[in-house]
Amino acid sequence: MTAETNDVALAARLSERLGRRRHVIAAATVTSGTVATATLGADATADFEIGSISKGLTGLLYVDALERGEITASSTLGDFLPLGTSPAAGVTLSAVSTHASGLPRLPPGALTLRTMRDMWLHGTNPYGEDLAQLYAQAIQVRLGAQRPSYSNLGFELLGHAVAAAAGTTFPDLVATRLAGPLSLDSVYAPHTLDDLRPGALLGTSRLGRPQQPWTGEALAPAGGIRATIEDMGRFTLALLDGTAPGLAALDPVAPLAGPAVRIGAAWITLDRHGHQVTWHNGGTGGFRSWLGVDRAAGTGVVVLCATARSVDRMGMSLLTEITDFAA
């Protein structure tokens, strides 16, 4: 692997796409085994909330656990988590991994009117549950139809179930099976504000209002991981060069939104202009993120932004651009 930090051309692309808007933003591109990174408004040591790209990491760890024989496709949440005889206990990990479990996006009552008001008015973190609170919420859930339906709750439970099957915690599972082997020193899942590292950025709303970091023990597998752009670039390369664990998570196994959009273990694959793009995005109170790879072309892009404005279009256009150039 070769690396180009603070790549001038990539920084210019970011600046051009931002126009007059000036956000703290970073991007990494992967072409021909080379990772180029650029950051505007912060240095390379800044760590961002990657939001629901965390689900992609959880998907890799789920498939890795399958390959290790710690779980099976028919294993249920109740096999590893204290969910009693609740409906959630009988949900298979496989169904959760493709958002087809019948679990709701969030458990009823998880976001109260007061929580939502404080989030919108004061930028407070709406998620902060510990595991006991998460399991208590899950026990009360009623299942819906087993059809594609995005579930944050499902991936929270999936990540903690996979960790329990390995006899560890989710942050330690990330550290020992993904961050450590791939030398991604900045990838971590803080439980509380006290766990934030010195380089942790503070995100802002679309209007520029500071937002409290989204930390929480329960949240981690679904949206609580943080990382620098350099490590996310290395991670993207690992998805392409085969060194990431559980890579079969990227293989689509079920429809998500029609025949052109399919899903693996969290990772979404769509057909676009004759190419297959495998991707995931993320959003928290003060951050937006996007990561996509064209596995056939060997190209990838990740964009992290410390403002709650979507970077999906920017990420997709950058991927198209570098893939067309590499062809």
The per-residue DSSP string of 234-281 comes to HHHHHHHHT-STTGGGGS--EESSSTTEEESSS-EEEEETTEEEEEEE
User: In this predicted structure, what is the pLDDT of residue 113?
Assistant: 56
Show the low-confidence residues of the chain (pLDDT under 50): none
Residues contacting residue 157 through CB under 8 Å, at least 6 positions apart: 77, 81, 88, 96, 103, 134, 138
Q: Which domain range does residue 134 map to? A: 2-326
User: In this predicted structure, what is the pLDDT of residue 273?
Assistant: 77
User: In this predicted structure, what is the pLDDT of residue 19?
Assistant: 72
User: In this predicted structure, what is the pLDDT of residue 109?
Assistant: 67
User: In this predicted structure, what is the pLDDT of residue 16?
Assistant: 87
User: In this predicted structure, what is the pLDDT of residue 108?
Assistant: 75
- Answer for the pair 189, 226: CB distance below 8 angstroms, yes or no: yes
**How far apart, in whole angstroms, are the C-alpha atoms of residue 142 and residue 108?**
9
Name the nearest CA neighbour of 282 among 230, 239, 224, 234.
224
3-state helix, strand, coil in the chain (%, to 5): 35, 20, 45
User: In this predicted structure, what is the pLDDT of residue 146?
Assistant: 83
**What is the domain-level CATH number for residue 308?**
3.40.710.10
User: In this predicted structure, what is the pLDDT of residue 160?
Assistant: 98
Helix (H, G, I), strand (E, B) or coil at 134: helix
User: In this predicted structure, what is the pLDDT of residue 172?
Assistant: 98
Q: How many domains does the chain have?
A: 1
